Structure 1
Amino acid sequence: MEKILKLNHLPKKIANYLTAPDRIIPLKKQAFLFQQGEPVKELYVLLSGKIMVGKTSPDGRELTLRLCGAGDLVGEIIVDDLPTHYLVDAKVTEPGEVAVFNQKKLNDALISDPEAMLSFLNFANVQYRKDQTKFRDLVLHGKKGALYSTLIRLSNSYGKKKDHGIYLDINLTNQELANFCATSRESVNRLLNELKRQNIIDIDQGRITILNLRFLKKAINCENCPIVLCTIN
Protein backbone atom coordinates (compact mmCIF):
# COMPACT_ATOMS: atom_id res chain seq x y z
CA MET A 1 0.00 0.00 0.00
CA GLU A 2 2.89 2.34 -0.70
CA LYS A 3 0.74 4.74 -2.68
CA ILE A 4 -1.73 5.21 0.14
CA LEU A 5 0.97 6.55 2.44
CA LYS A 6 1.47 9.54 0.16
CA LEU A 7 -1.46 11.52 1.53
CA ASN A 8 -1.69 15.20 0.69
CA HIS A 9 -2.11 17.89 3.35
CA LEU A 10 -2.91 15.40 6.12
CA PRO A 11 -1.35 15.30 9.59
CA LYS A 12 0.36 12.11 10.65
CA LYS A 13 -2.42 11.26 13.12
CA ILE A 14 -4.89 11.00 10.22
CA ALA A 15 -2.51 9.29 7.81
CA ASN A 16 -1.83 6.56 10.39
CA TYR A 17 -5.46 5.44 10.14
CA LEU A 18 -5.50 5.38 6.34
CA THR A 19 -2.80 2.82 5.57
CA ALA A 20 -4.96 -0.32 5.30
CA PRO A 21 -8.07 0.20 3.12
CA ASP A 22 -10.97 -2.23 3.10
CA ARG A 23 -10.68 -2.42 -0.68
CA ILE A 24 -9.43 -0.60 -3.76
CA ILE A 25 -11.78 0.09 -6.65
CA PRO A 26 -11.18 1.38 -10.19
CA LEU A 27 -12.62 4.70 -11.33
CA LYS A 28 -14.03 5.24 -14.82
CA LYS A 29 -14.18 8.68 -16.39
CA GLN A 30 -17.55 10.43 -16.01
CA ALA A 31 -18.65 7.93 -13.33
CA PHE A 32 -19.72 9.10 -9.86
CA LEU A 33 -17.93 7.98 -6.71
CA PHE A 34 -20.98 9.23 -4.82
CA GLN A 35 -23.89 11.59 -5.46
CA GLN A 36 -26.03 14.05 -3.55
CA GLY A 37 -28.58 12.34 -1.31
CA GLU A 38 -26.73 9.03 -0.97
CA PRO A 39 -25.96 7.84 2.59
CA VAL A 40 -22.42 8.40 3.83
CA LYS A 41 -20.89 5.04 4.72
CA GLU A 42 -17.31 5.21 3.45
CA LEU A 43 -14.31 7.51 3.23
CA TYR A 44 -11.97 7.55 0.24
CA VAL A 45 -8.34 8.22 -0.59
CA LEU A 46 -7.67 8.90 -4.24
CA LEU A 47 -4.69 6.86 -5.44
CA SER A 48 -4.68 8.05 -9.05
CA GLY A 49 -6.88 10.01 -11.43
CA LYS A 50 -8.90 13.12 -10.67
CA ILE A 51 -12.29 13.76 -9.07
CA MET A 52 -14.32 16.96 -9.07
CA VAL A 53 -16.50 17.53 -6.03
CA GLY A 54 -19.42 19.91 -6.39
CA LYS A 55 -23.15 20.50 -6.56
CA THR A 56 -25.60 20.22 -9.43
CA SER A 57 -28.83 22.23 -9.47
CA PRO A 58 -32.15 20.69 -10.63
CA ASP A 59 -31.79 22.54 -13.95
CA GLY A 60 -28.34 21.04 -14.57
CA ARG A 61 -26.06 23.92 -13.58
CA GLU A 62 -22.84 22.87 -11.86
CA LEU A 63 -20.72 24.45 -9.14
CA THR A 64 -17.38 22.71 -8.57
CA LEU A 65 -15.93 23.08 -5.08
CA ARG A 66 -12.84 20.86 -5.15
CA LEU A 67 -10.54 19.21 -7.66
CA CYS A 68 -9.04 16.15 -5.99
CA GLY A 69 -5.87 14.42 -7.16
CA ALA A 70 -3.74 11.49 -6.03
CA GLY A 71 -3.29 11.44 -2.27
CA ASP A 72 -6.37 13.54 -1.48
CA LEU A 73 -9.04 12.53 1.01
CA VAL A 74 -12.51 12.50 -0.57
CA GLY A 75 -15.90 12.31 1.13
CA GLU A 76 -17.68 13.39 4.30
CA ILE A 77 -16.07 12.72 7.66
CA ILE A 78 -18.66 11.53 10.19
CA VAL A 79 -18.00 10.98 13.87
CA ASP A 80 -21.33 9.65 15.14
CA ASP A 81 -23.99 7.10 14.22
CA LEU A 82 -26.60 9.59 13.02
CA PRO A 83 -27.71 9.10 9.39
CA THR A 84 -25.75 11.45 7.12
CA HIS A 85 -26.25 12.02 3.41
CA TYR A 86 -23.94 13.58 0.85
CA LEU A 87 -24.64 17.21 -0.01
CA VAL A 88 -22.34 17.08 -3.05
CA ASP A 89 -21.40 14.88 -6.01
CA ALA A 90 -17.97 13.37 -6.65
CA LYS A 91 -17.49 12.93 -10.40
CA VAL A 92 -14.50 11.22 -11.98
CA THR A 93 -12.82 13.44 -14.59
CA GLU A 94 -9.69 11.32 -15.04
CA PRO A 95 -9.72 7.52 -14.57
CA GLY A 96 -7.76 5.96 -11.73
CA GLU A 97 -8.15 4.08 -8.46
CA VAL A 98 -9.49 4.90 -5.02
CA ALA A 99 -8.91 3.28 -1.62
CA VAL A 100 -12.10 2.72 0.37
CA PHE A 101 -12.43 2.87 4.16
CA ASN A 102 -15.53 1.87 6.14
CA GLN A 103 -16.48 4.85 8.31
CA LYS A 104 -18.01 2.83 11.15
CA LYS A 105 -14.87 0.72 11.48
CA LEU A 106 -12.78 3.90 11.34
CA ASN A 107 -14.91 5.57 14.02
CA ASP A 108 -14.70 2.53 16.28
CA ALA A 109 -10.91 2.71 16.09
CA LEU A 110 -10.88 6.47 16.77
CA ILE A 111 -12.89 6.14 19.99
CA SER A 112 -9.73 5.13 21.83
CA ASP A 113 -7.63 7.87 20.21
CA PRO A 114 -9.11 11.32 20.99
CA GLU A 115 -6.12 13.13 19.49
CA ALA A 116 -6.64 11.42 16.13
CA MET A 117 -10.39 12.10 16.31
CA LEU A 118 -9.63 15.78 16.86
CA SER A 119 -7.31 15.75 13.83
CA PHE A 120 -10.11 14.37 11.66
CA LEU A 121 -12.52 17.03 12.96
CA ASN A 122 -9.97 19.80 12.35
CA PHE A 123 -9.45 18.55 8.80
CA ALA A 124 -13.21 18.58 8.17
CA ASN A 125 -13.37 22.13 9.54
CA VAL A 126 -10.63 23.29 7.16
CA GLN A 127 -12.58 21.87 4.20
CA TYR A 128 -15.68 23.70 5.41
CA ARG A 129 -13.75 26.99 5.67
CA LYS A 130 -12.34 26.49 2.17
CA ASP A 131 -15.85 26.15 0.79
CA GLN A 132 -16.96 29.26 2.69
CA THR A 133 -14.18 31.36 1.16
CA LYS A 134 -15.15 30.14 -2.32
CA PHE A 135 -18.78 31.08 -1.72
CA ARG A 136 -17.63 34.46 -0.37
CA ASP A 137 -15.69 35.23 -3.54
CA LEU A 138 -18.60 34.18 -5.74
CA VAL A 139 -21.22 36.16 -3.80
CA LEU A 140 -19.17 39.32 -3.21
CA HIS A 141 -17.35 39.54 -6.54
CA GLY A 142 -19.58 37.69 -8.99
CA LYS A 143 -18.47 35.48 -11.86
CA LYS A 144 -15.35 37.53 -12.58
CA GLY A 145 -14.24 37.33 -8.95
CA ALA A 146 -14.96 33.61 -8.89
CA LEU A 147 -12.71 33.09 -11.91
CA TYR A 148 -9.93 35.23 -10.46
CA SER A 149 -10.22 33.36 -7.16
CA THR A 150 -10.08 30.02 -8.99
CA LEU A 151 -6.92 31.05 -10.86
CA ILE A 152 -5.29 32.10 -7.59
CA ARG A 153 -6.21 28.78 -5.96
CA LEU A 154 -4.92 26.86 -8.99
CA SER A 155 -1.63 28.75 -8.70
CA ASN A 156 -1.29 27.58 -5.09
CA SER A 157 -2.14 23.97 -5.95
CA TYR A 158 -0.59 23.46 -9.38
CA GLY A 159 1.52 26.57 -10.02
CA LYS A 160 5.14 26.31 -11.09
CA LYS A 161 7.22 29.47 -10.98
CA LYS A 162 8.77 30.41 -14.31
CA ASP A 163 10.82 33.43 -15.35
CA HIS A 164 7.77 35.15 -16.82
CA GLY A 165 5.05 34.04 -14.40
CA ILE A 166 3.30 31.11 -12.70
CA TYR A 167 2.59 28.18 -15.01
CA LEU A 168 -0.52 26.15 -14.10
CA ASP A 169 0.56 22.55 -14.58
CA ILE A 170 -2.91 21.08 -15.05
CA ASN A 171 -5.28 20.44 -17.94
CA LEU A 172 -8.65 22.10 -17.43
CA THR A 173 -11.19 22.88 -20.11
CA ASN A 174 -12.94 26.23 -20.12
CA GLN A 175 -16.14 24.40 -19.19
CA GLU A 176 -14.44 22.93 -16.13
CA LEU A 177 -13.21 26.41 -15.18
CA ALA A 178 -16.74 27.69 -15.69
CA ASN A 179 -18.08 25.09 -13.27
CA PHE A 180 -15.85 26.51 -10.53
CA CYS A 181 -17.54 29.87 -11.14
CA ALA A 182 -21.14 28.67 -11.57
CA THR A 183 -21.24 30.34 -14.96
CA SER A 184 -21.19 29.46 -18.65
CA ARG A 185 -18.24 28.43 -20.78
CA GLU A 186 -18.88 31.45 -23.02
CA SER A 187 -18.54 33.81 -20.04
CA VAL A 188 -15.26 32.22 -19.02
CA ASN A 189 -13.98 32.40 -22.62
CA ARG A 190 -14.72 36.13 -22.63
CA LEU A 191 -13.10 36.76 -19.25
CA LEU A 192 -9.97 34.76 -20.13
CA ASN A 193 -9.58 36.61 -23.43
CA GLU A 194 -9.95 39.90 -21.57
CA LEU A 195 -7.21 38.90 -19.12
CA LYS A 196 -5.02 37.82 -22.01
CA ARG A 197 -5.49 41.17 -23.79
CA GLN A 198 -4.48 42.96 -20.59
CA ASN A 199 -1.36 40.77 -20.35
CA ILE A 200 -2.51 39.37 -17.00
CA ILE A 201 -2.36 35.78 -18.23
CA ASP A 202 -1.00 33.89 -21.21
CA ILE A 203 -2.57 30.79 -22.74
CA ASP A 204 -0.52 28.34 -24.77
CA GLN A 205 -2.03 25.06 -26.02
CA GLY A 206 -4.74 25.27 -23.38
CA ARG A 207 -2.35 25.81 -20.47
CA ILE A 208 -2.54 29.05 -18.49
CA THR A 209 0.40 31.06 -17.19
CA ILE A 210 -0.42 33.82 -14.70
CA LEU A 211 1.73 36.83 -15.55
CA ASN A 212 0.34 39.24 -12.95
CA LEU A 213 -0.92 37.48 -9.84
CA ARG A 214 -1.06 40.76 -7.92
CA PHE A 215 -3.69 42.10 -10.34
CA LEU A 216 -5.96 39.12 -9.66
CA LYS A 217 -5.55 39.43 -5.89
CA LYS A 218 -6.19 43.17 -5.88
CA ALA A 219 -9.33 42.76 -8.01
CA ILE A 220 -10.98 40.53 -5.37
CA ASN A 221 -9.56 42.33 -2.32
CA CYS A 222 -7.52 39.24 -1.46
CA GLU A 223 -7.24 38.81 2.31
CA ASN A 224 -4.06 36.73 2.00
CA CYS A 225 -5.66 33.74 3.68
CA PRO A 226 -3.35 30.92 4.79
CA ILE A 227 -2.39 28.74 1.83
CA VAL A 228 -4.23 25.81 3.41
CA LEU A 229 -7.48 27.71 2.79
CA CYS A 230 -6.54 28.94 -0.68
CA THR A 231 -6.14 25.78 -2.74
CA ILE A 232 -8.34 24.04 -5.27
CA ASN A 233 -8.31 20.61 -3.58
Structure 2
Amino acid sequence: MTGNGITFVDQVTPDFVKSLETLAIRKTYTPDATLFMDGEKATQLFLIASGQIKLTKTTNDGKELTLQIFGAGELVGVSGLFEQELTYTSTGTMLLAGEVWIIPRQGLEKMLIKNGQFCVEFLRWMGLMNRRMQSKFRDLLLNGKIGAFYSTLIRMTNTYGKPHPNGILIDLSLTNRDLAQFLGLTRESVNRMLSDLKKQGVVDLLPHGHILIKNLAFLKEAIFCDDCPPDFCQM
Protein backbone atom coordinates (compact mmCIF):
# COMPACT_ATOMS: atom_id res chain seq x y z
CA MET A 1 0.00 0.00 0.00
CA THR A 2 1.13 3.56 -0.66
CA GLY A 3 2.55 5.15 2.49
CA ASN A 4 2.81 3.79 6.04
CA GLY A 5 -0.67 2.40 6.54
CA ILE A 6 -0.88 -1.05 8.13
CA THR A 7 -2.94 -3.18 5.77
CA PHE A 8 -5.07 -6.28 6.12
CA VAL A 9 -2.21 -8.41 4.79
CA ASP A 10 0.08 -6.93 7.47
CA GLN A 11 -2.44 -7.84 10.18
CA VAL A 12 -2.93 -11.51 9.33
CA THR A 13 -0.55 -14.44 8.92
CA PRO A 14 0.88 -15.58 5.55
CA ASP A 15 -1.09 -18.82 5.94
CA PHE A 16 -4.33 -16.83 6.04
CA VAL A 17 -3.38 -15.01 2.84
CA LYS A 18 -2.46 -18.29 1.13
CA SER A 19 -5.85 -19.75 2.09
CA LEU A 20 -7.61 -16.70 0.66
CA GLU A 21 -5.65 -17.13 -2.55
CA THR A 22 -7.13 -20.60 -3.01
CA LEU A 23 -10.63 -19.06 -2.91
CA ALA A 24 -9.88 -16.06 -5.10
CA ILE A 25 -10.42 -15.23 -8.73
CA ARG A 26 -7.81 -12.75 -9.98
CA LYS A 27 -9.00 -9.92 -12.18
CA THR A 28 -7.34 -6.80 -13.57
CA TYR A 29 -9.36 -3.59 -13.50
CA THR A 30 -8.92 -0.28 -15.30
CA PRO A 31 -9.39 3.13 -13.61
CA ASP A 32 -13.02 4.06 -12.87
CA ALA A 33 -14.18 0.44 -13.10
CA THR A 34 -16.94 -0.29 -10.56
CA LEU A 35 -16.39 -3.31 -8.32
CA PHE A 36 -19.56 -3.03 -6.24
CA MET A 37 -22.43 -0.61 -5.67
CA ASP A 38 -23.95 0.76 -2.50
CA GLY A 39 -27.05 -1.30 -1.66
CA GLU A 40 -26.15 -4.33 -3.79
CA LYS A 41 -26.11 -7.75 -2.17
CA ALA A 42 -22.66 -8.31 -0.66
CA THR A 43 -21.59 -11.67 -2.03
CA GLN A 44 -17.90 -10.94 -2.61
CA LEU A 45 -14.89 -9.34 -0.94
CA PHE A 46 -11.97 -7.77 -2.74
CA LEU A 47 -8.29 -8.08 -1.78
CA ILE A 48 -6.15 -5.53 -3.61
CA ALA A 49 -2.99 -7.01 -5.12
CA SER A 50 -2.08 -3.74 -6.88
CA GLY A 51 -3.74 -0.41 -7.70
CA GLN A 52 -6.13 1.60 -5.53
CA ILE A 53 -9.86 1.38 -4.74
CA LYS A 54 -11.95 4.37 -3.70
CA LEU A 55 -15.02 3.92 -1.49
CA THR A 56 -17.74 6.54 -1.90
CA LYS A 57 -21.20 7.25 -0.54
CA THR A 58 -23.84 9.42 -2.19
CA THR A 59 -26.07 11.46 0.12
CA ASN A 60 -29.80 11.99 -0.36
CA ASP A 61 -29.14 15.39 -1.93
CA GLY A 62 -26.78 13.88 -4.50
CA LYS A 63 -23.47 14.87 -2.89
CA GLU A 64 -20.71 12.26 -3.27
CA LEU A 65 -18.52 11.69 -0.23
CA THR A 66 -15.20 9.87 -0.35
CA LEU A 67 -14.98 7.54 2.63
CA GLN A 68 -11.61 5.87 2.10
CA ILE A 69 -8.93 5.10 -0.47
CA PHE A 70 -7.32 1.69 -0.18
CA GLY A 71 -4.14 0.34 -1.76
CA ALA A 72 -2.35 -2.97 -2.14
CA GLY A 73 -2.80 -5.38 0.74
CA GLU A 74 -6.21 -4.11 1.81
CA LEU A 75 -9.45 -6.10 1.96
CA VAL A 76 -12.55 -4.12 0.98
CA GLY A 77 -16.26 -4.77 0.58
CA VAL A 78 -16.73 -6.19 4.09
CA SER A 79 -20.10 -5.13 5.45
CA GLY A 80 -20.35 -8.07 7.83
CA LEU A 81 -20.34 -11.86 7.92
CA PHE A 82 -22.64 -14.75 8.74
CA GLU A 83 -25.85 -12.94 7.81
CA GLN A 84 -28.24 -13.90 5.04
CA GLU A 85 -29.03 -10.53 3.47
CA LEU A 86 -25.92 -8.37 3.68
CA THR A 87 -25.56 -5.42 1.32
CA TYR A 88 -22.63 -3.16 0.49
CA THR A 89 -22.68 0.11 2.44
CA SER A 90 -20.64 2.07 -0.13
CA THR A 91 -19.62 2.01 -3.78
CA GLY A 92 -16.16 0.74 -4.70
CA THR A 93 -14.42 1.95 -7.86
CA MET A 94 -10.86 1.62 -9.11
CA LEU A 95 -8.87 4.79 -8.66
CA LEU A 96 -5.65 3.34 -10.09
CA ALA A 97 -5.53 0.30 -12.37
CA GLY A 98 -4.47 -2.96 -10.78
CA GLU A 99 -5.13 -6.58 -9.95
CA VAL A 100 -7.80 -7.56 -7.42
CA TRP A 101 -8.55 -10.93 -5.84
CA ILE A 102 -12.30 -11.55 -5.81
CA ILE A 103 -13.22 -13.71 -2.82
CA PRO A 104 -16.68 -15.25 -2.33
CA ARG A 105 -18.09 -14.28 1.07
CA GLN A 106 -19.53 -17.75 1.70
CA GLY A 107 -16.14 -19.31 1.00
CA LEU A 108 -14.50 -17.00 3.53
CA GLU A 109 -17.17 -17.77 6.13
CA LYS A 110 -16.62 -21.52 5.73
CA MET A 111 -12.87 -21.04 6.04
CA LEU A 112 -13.26 -19.04 9.27
CA ILE A 113 -15.60 -21.67 10.76
CA LYS A 114 -13.04 -24.41 10.07
CA ASN A 115 -10.00 -22.48 11.32
CA GLY A 116 -10.30 -20.79 14.70
CA GLN A 117 -6.94 -19.01 14.37
CA PHE A 118 -7.98 -17.40 11.09
CA CYS A 119 -11.25 -16.34 12.72
CA VAL A 120 -9.36 -14.62 15.56
CA GLU A 121 -7.11 -12.81 13.08
CA PHE A 122 -10.07 -11.66 11.03
CA LEU A 123 -12.00 -10.40 14.06
CA ARG A 124 -8.91 -8.55 15.30
CA TRP A 125 -8.61 -6.82 11.93
CA MET A 126 -12.33 -5.91 11.87
CA GLY A 127 -12.00 -4.43 15.36
CA LEU A 128 -9.09 -2.27 14.23
CA MET A 129 -11.05 -1.05 11.19
CA ASN A 130 -14.03 -0.14 13.38
CA ARG A 131 -11.83 1.82 15.80
CA ARG A 132 -10.27 3.71 12.89
CA MET A 133 -13.68 4.64 11.53
CA GLN A 134 -15.01 5.71 14.94
CA SER A 135 -11.94 7.87 15.52
CA LYS A 136 -12.33 9.50 12.10
CA PHE A 137 -16.03 10.27 12.59
CA ARG A 138 -15.33 11.65 16.06
CA ASP A 139 -12.86 14.15 14.63
CA LEU A 140 -15.15 15.15 11.77
CA LEU A 141 -18.06 15.74 14.15
CA LEU A 142 -16.27 17.47 17.03
CA ASN A 143 -13.68 19.70 15.40
CA GLY A 144 -15.70 21.81 12.95
CA LYS A 145 -14.76 22.39 9.32
CA ILE A 146 -11.20 23.57 9.87
CA GLY A 147 -10.52 20.96 12.55
CA ALA A 148 -11.94 18.21 10.35
CA PHE A 149 -9.67 19.35 7.53
CA TYR A 150 -6.60 19.39 9.78
CA SER A 151 -7.52 15.96 11.14
CA THR A 152 -7.82 14.59 7.60
CA LEU A 153 -4.37 15.90 6.70
CA ILE A 154 -2.91 14.30 9.85
CA ARG A 155 -4.54 10.97 8.99
CA MET A 156 -3.24 11.19 5.45
CA THR A 157 0.33 11.61 6.72
CA ASN A 158 -0.09 8.42 8.79
CA THR A 159 -1.63 6.48 5.90
CA TYR A 160 0.11 7.81 2.79
CA GLY A 161 3.02 9.79 4.23
CA LYS A 162 6.60 9.47 3.02
CA PRO A 163 9.67 11.19 4.49
CA HIS A 164 10.70 14.35 2.66
CA PRO A 165 13.63 16.72 3.32
CA ASN A 166 11.14 19.47 4.22
CA GLY A 167 8.53 17.42 6.08
CA ILE A 168 6.13 14.62 5.18
CA LEU A 169 4.91 14.08 1.63
CA ILE A 170 1.34 12.81 1.25
CA ASP A 171 1.99 10.38 -1.59
CA LEU A 172 -1.50 10.51 -3.04
CA SER A 173 -2.56 12.55 -6.05
CA LEU A 174 -5.45 14.74 -4.88
CA THR A 175 -7.36 17.62 -6.39
CA ASN A 176 -9.05 20.13 -4.10
CA ARG A 177 -12.34 18.54 -5.18
CA ASP A 178 -11.04 15.16 -3.96
CA LEU A 179 -10.18 16.67 -0.58
CA ALA A 180 -13.59 18.31 -0.38
CA GLN A 181 -15.27 14.95 -0.95
CA PHE A 182 -13.44 13.48 2.03
CA LEU A 183 -14.93 16.20 4.23
CA GLY A 184 -18.34 16.90 2.72
CA LEU A 185 -17.26 20.50 2.05
CA THR A 186 -17.18 22.67 -1.03
CA ARG A 187 -14.06 22.89 -3.18
CA GLU A 188 -13.96 26.63 -2.50
CA SER A 189 -13.76 26.02 1.27
CA VAL A 190 -10.84 23.62 0.80
CA ASN A 191 -9.13 26.12 -1.52
CA ARG A 192 -9.29 28.79 1.18
CA MET A 193 -8.04 26.52 3.96
CA LEU A 194 -5.14 25.20 1.89
CA SER A 195 -4.21 28.74 0.86
CA ASP A 196 -4.20 29.86 4.52
CA LEU A 197 -1.99 26.91 5.54
CA LYS A 198 0.41 27.61 2.69
CA LYS A 199 0.72 31.28 3.71
CA GLN A 200 1.56 30.16 7.25
CA GLY A 201 4.23 27.77 5.97
CA VAL A 202 2.37 24.72 7.27
CA VAL A 203 1.94 23.03 3.89
CA ASP A 204 3.27 23.30 0.37
CA LEU A 205 1.40 22.29 -2.77
CA LEU A 206 3.54 20.23 -5.13
CA PRO A 207 2.97 19.10 -8.73
CA HIS A 208 0.61 16.23 -9.54
CA GLY A 209 -1.73 17.02 -6.67
CA HIS A 210 0.71 16.09 -3.88
CA ILE A 211 0.69 17.92 -0.55
CA LEU A 212 3.80 18.43 1.55
CA ILE A 213 3.16 18.79 5.29
CA LYS A 214 5.92 21.06 6.58
CA ASN A 215 4.61 21.62 10.11
CA LEU A 216 2.66 18.64 11.39
CA ALA A 217 2.89 19.92 14.97
CA PHE A 218 0.86 23.01 14.01
CA LEU A 219 -2.02 20.84 12.76
CA LYS A 220 -1.95 18.65 15.87
CA GLU A 221 -1.84 21.58 18.29
CA ALA A 222 -4.69 23.35 16.50
CA ILE A 223 -7.10 20.46 17.15
CA PHE A 224 -5.66 19.41 20.53
CA CYS A 225 -4.64 16.09 18.98
CA ASP A 226 -4.67 13.14 21.40
CA ASP A 227 -1.70 11.56 19.57
CA CYS A 228 -3.61 8.34 19.02
CA PRO A 229 -1.52 5.37 17.84
CA PRO A 230 -0.89 5.61 14.07
CA ASP A 231 -2.72 2.28 13.65
CA PHE A 232 -5.96 4.07 14.63
CA CYS A 233 -5.28 7.52 13.19
CA GLN A 234 -5.60 6.61 9.53
CA MET A 235 -7.95 7.25 6.67
Give the CA deviation at 1:155.
Answer: 0.9
Q: How many residues align?
A: 227
2:219 to 216, 219, 224: 216
SS in 2 for 1:208: strand
**Corresponding position: 1:141 with 2:143:** yes
TM-score, scaled relative to structure 2: 0.89
Superposed, 1:163-202 pairs within 5 Å as: 163-202=165-204
Contact map agreement 2:8 2:125 (CA 8 A) in 1: no
Alignment correspondent of 1:45? 47
Residue 8 (structure 1) shift? 4.1
Q: In the TM superposition, what whole-angstrom CA distance separates every residue of 1:63-83 from its partner, at most 9, and x where no partner exists?
A: 222111122111116331421
Contact in 2 for aligned 1:146/1:180 (Cα 8 Å):
no
Q: Is the 8 A contact 2:38 2:91 kept in 1?
A: yes
CA separation of 1:184 and 1:100: change in aligned 2, threshold 3 A:
same
Comparing 77-86 and 216-225, the one that deviates more: 77-86
Contact 2:9 2:17 (C-alpha < 8 Å) held by counterparts: no
Cα deviation, residue 142, structure 1: 2.0
Gap runs ≥5 in structure 1: 1-5
For 1:9, what is the secondary structure of its paired residue? helix
Q: 1:30 aligns with which of 20, 29, 32?
A: 32
Q: Percent identity?
A: 39
Q: 2:230 aligns with which of 213, 222, 227?
A: 227
Distance 2:180 2:9 in 1: 26
User: Which structure would you say has the larger RCO, counting Cα contacts within 8 Å and 6 or more residues apart?
Assistant: 2
Residue number in structure 1 paired with 2:102: 100
Asked if the contact 1:27/1:97 (under 8 Å) is kept, the reply is yes
| Residue pair 2:202, 2:213 contacting (<8 A) in 1 also | yes
- Mark the runs of 5 or more structure 2 residues left unpaired by the alignment: 1-6
Q: 1:125 to 1:75 in 2, by over 3 A?
A: same
Q: Please give the secondary structure, in 2, of the residue aligned with 1:121.
A: helix
For 1:131, give the aligned amino acid: M
> Against the structure 1 CA distance between its residues 173 and 52, is the aligned structure 2 distance closer, same or farther, given a 3 Å change threshold?
same
Asked if 2 retains the 8 angstrom alpha-carbon contact of 1:7 and 1:15, the reply is no
Equivalent position amino acid for 1:105 in 2: G
Residue pairs, 1:110-121, within 5 angstroms: 110-121=112-123
How far, CA to CA, are the matches of 1:63 and 1:128 in structure 2? 19
Aligned to 2:4: none
TM-score by length of 1: 0.90
Alignment correspondent of 2:134: 132
Q: Distance in 2 between matches of 1:55 and 1:196?
A: 30
1:71 counterpart residue number? 73
Q: Confirm or deny: 8 A CA contact 2:51 2:99 kept in the other structure.
A: yes
